[in-house]
Structure 1
């Protein structure tokens, strides 16, 4: 008998009239990994949360059979579920900053699990916390245990959350997008950790939009769409010989070297996914729009960017890759003029950009805009979509309304969305709003800092296609920062590989990724999970 057995699971939210999960059946046995994949809104996270009694208030859960360790879970009360969580099942969510208590240190957070489930005596809890943090690859675990979530990077927060989930050594780990916020080297470390626990007999339920991650660890996979499982089976069969059109489209949306120059938002024809060419894009090499020379920056006494130089030309995409702490985002802040360098300079359209007063930069800020990983953090929560997009615009109210409607249409959003607030939108819709806002002043360059890392594969495909269309039409330059090497290979012309604040390798993306010269580049590429192409 499996740890969890579910037949015909249905989860509805009567107040909203939504049936999020419709007839899902699955089983999870000790020592195996079952993965659920699908786009946002497919029901995969609701399914995972239901298995540990976290469906949420107002939900109705029915099933022909729903057992946990052989017991009828449909009869469980709140106390029964609390006893199971942590001890029977550890839960790892995507957004560690939301999951971790902002008023407690991460050490206290992990120690609570040890205390609640009486894992080790009180005198040994501090040592055990450090052991757990070390096990998930947190550097200086003794120091990090005394820090709060907001003092850690995204990758460190995620690792602390995983340490909390495994603290009671549960027989089941439910991981909902556990590696989305991690760079490829840390992702590989976490996957090795999860694989080791699986080999030791722990069961894993993996929710992920990264099909390569799924292929590297899952034994079986369920593909969900609109609350229904449309395909399931052994991972190697489903991902290499998909039977359902939706699975084929998901696989076609995965960016890689093979997808360069084509749309990731494929169309299905006769049961086969077809990629179409992207519009032709021209790079103007006559004069760079961004010129970075000998740039260095420090936070206090710690140098985080050291002697970085590069150019970005109109219509070109330059990618920057490297693990967390390599200096990628700091370079973006320097280029945007949000951080002053300690040496070197940035020039925008040939004119000084760094080392000058903000009042001199302000008239030219329209020429450089940013698209961030989480646009909701940068939006005023009081503003509607229309007001957010219109904010950089001048002219009359009528002209701004017309321009907002044009921008929303351009990024594939209906005009009536202008009256809604961003918190009411999906992640993909919010990212499109961020792009519309960035395009409003007609910039020469877009600085994209992890713009698609939080999106599922199909929405990511749409956003990447949109950026390519914008470049072709406007000649916009992109400085594209990402820890996803597949995305960077798909979209970039040239790439810079950063490590510890320095550029260790640069060149045409094919040359760097196919024939890497630096050991660190080879290490990064070696850590990338490989997806078996469909039809091979």
Structure 2
């Protein structure tokens, strides 16, 4: 008997169908992946299996069986029994999913208190040991120490492991993982995928929601490709990724950045025709750069040189010092030692007043612009960034990033992730910067939206001659965009050089470790330009 058997699933909000007649089966020990862009309906489909499609939703189907029971007849009490006992949920952002006022022990113990039909509640005295066993099972180091920690005291990888421990606490036969590795370092991502694969090998079924095709390729047995609420293609992982038949699937595959995509536009596969202007002019440099928080050194003896129109990629795990390097380059942190020079002028060790004339010449694009946008402001006001720009200039900046003037009156919450990132780029371009610091600018975007943003940055760099420092955990993205690469570990640069040299002939063991942790290549990626 199938664990999940659904035919003709339809989900509507206020009369608008967002899931339009999909069918889905999941067998014990099988991993089924659903891929597609934001708004394709993949997350709503997954949440429908938990009775959590959303407020005001209407869920219909010709058949909706969970563990052989008709879920269409479930009331809220029955759905509560499904959550945790039949299916555990692992979401993208564990910091949001975990209760900030609960310790790790309390969070997981809550899941242990969910009774099953044949399982008794864990005795009070055994709860602590059961939590320790779960933390050990998901690979949390020093589990005894972690029991009393709160979510904000854990790294992103550890938070995700705690969330998985909570999801499997009641030993459910199904785990629903909605973007479980997005924005995680490649090594942490590999650990999470290995953990999910171990659960699968033990007989647990997985429903994996992801926009990362490399992640899907490494774990899934079958793939459903969704677009606009419909399944446009489905089949075995090898068949869908190796021999895609639908144009949308082929477009998704062609948009995956890699060494093979260098020199090509990701959104349409055509070869880049505009050459970036080459220059020996140094626009940003650092020498002997170090920074400490109290007695803890987080950046040590960092040096680099950035030329006009060049892209310098920076890779490394969380805590390696990447973002600290970005903040030092922006002049937002005062180095403990060392110097930063911008456009030939001292940038570190000087007062903010003396930096002010050059401040517009270096700008930043962050991972989540929504965090840096005032939700009350319109796009026009955000792009103006406290300056009184005429409407013609705002329109020009929006056109630069592929948005028309109709967006000027919208607010951040009215925009998609890709549109918000475009507004952030438009705001930065308003200052005509010489240097753009990009700190994980595409890590949370769908592969097709990511392709559009990367193509946009390449076009603007070729047209305006900007230099970029591009920080990312996605090694495929870094290889696609970068001329040279810095590899960071524990606050130090352990290797640097030309991008191809770093990726094809790494010299440092840590670099080789990073590359080895990348999920297996997406098989049979459609030829670029076809």
Q: What are the equivalent positions in structure 2 for 1:72-91 lying under 5 Å apart? A: 72-91=70-89
Which position in structure 2 is the counterpart of 1:437?
Answer: 427
Paired with 2:101 and 2:210, the residues of 1 have a C-alpha distance of 29
How big is each residue's C-alpha offset from its partner over 1:373-397, in whole Å with a ceiling of 9 and x where there is no partner? 111111112211111110154xxx5
* Contact kept? 2:254, 2:526, Cα under 8 Å: no
Kept in 2, the 8 Å contact 1:353–1:361? The answer is yes
Name the counterpart of 2:451: 461
Aligned residues: 522
Q: Decide which of 414, 431, 442 is 1:452's aligned counterpart.
A: 442
- Tell which deviates more after alignment, 419-428 or 94-103: 94-103
TM-score (norm 1): 0.95
Give the deviation of 1:114 after TM superposition.
1.5
RMSD: 1.5
Q: Is the deviation greater in 482-491 or in 524-533?
A: 524-533
Q: CA deviation at 1:278?
A: 5.1
Q: Quick check: 2:90–2:163 contact (8 Å CA) kept in 1?
A: yes
Who is 1:389 aligned against? Answer: 383
C-alpha deviation, 1:230, in angstroms: 0.2
Unpaired runs of 5+ in structure 1?
Answer: 267-273
CA distance in 2, matches of 1:402, 1:128: 63
Structure 2 length as normaliser, TM-score? 0.96
**Alignment partners' CA distance in 2, 1:298 and 1:131:** 36
Q: Counterparts of 1:142-181 in structure 2 under 5 Å? A: 142-181=144-183
CA distance in 2, matches of 1:317, 1:157: 32
CA distance in 1: counterparts of 2:130 and 2:283, whole angstroms:
52
Aligned to 2:276: 281
Tell me, in whole angstroms, the C-alpha distance in 2 between the residues paired with 1:294 and 1:135.
42
Matched, 1:532 2:523: yes
Offset of residue 302 of structure 1:
1.1
Deviates more, 1:131-140 or 1:257-266: 131-140
* Contact residue 262 and residue 277 of structure 1 kept, 8 A: yes
Find the aligned partners of 2:502 and 2:205 in 1 and give their Cα distance: 38
Q: Structure 2: how far apart are the matches of 1:452 and 1:338?
A: 22
Secondary structure of the corresponding residue to residue 85 of structure 1: helix
Q: Deviations over 1:41-99 (max 9, x none)?
A: 11000100001110011110100100000000001111111111111111011122221
Q: What is the CA-CA distance between 1:284 and the residue it aligns to?
A: 1.2
- Counterpart of 1:413 in structure 2 is 403
Q: Residues 54 and 265 from structure 1, CA distance in 2 versus in 1: closer, same or farther, beyond 3 angstroms? A: same
Secondary structure at the residue paired with 1:446? strand
Alpha-carbon distance, 1:420 to partner: 1.2
Q: Is residue 175–residue 205 contact of structure 2 (8 Å, CA) maintained in 1?
A: yes
Contact 1:392 1:440 in 2 (8 A): no
Match of 1:270 in 2: none
Provide structure 2 residue ranges, at least 5 long, that are not aligned to the other structure: none
Residue 63 of structure 2: aligned partner: 65
Deviations 1:250-280 (A, max 9, x none): 00000000000110002xxxxxxx4332521
When residues 139 and 435 of structure 1 are mapped into structure 2, their CA distance, relative to the original with a 3 A threshold, is farther
Q: Deviations over 1:161-181 (max 9, x none)?
A: 222212222110000000012
Measured after TM superposition, the shift of residue 236 of structure 1 is 0.5
- The question of whether the paired residues in 1 share the 8 Å contact of 2:317 and 2:489 is answered with yes
Distance in 2, matches of 1:410 and 1:339, equals 31
Distance 1:385 1:105 in 2: 39
| Deviation (angstroms), 1:151 | 3.0
CA deviation profile, 1:418-451 (whole Å, cap 9, x unmatched): 1111012111111111111111111111111110
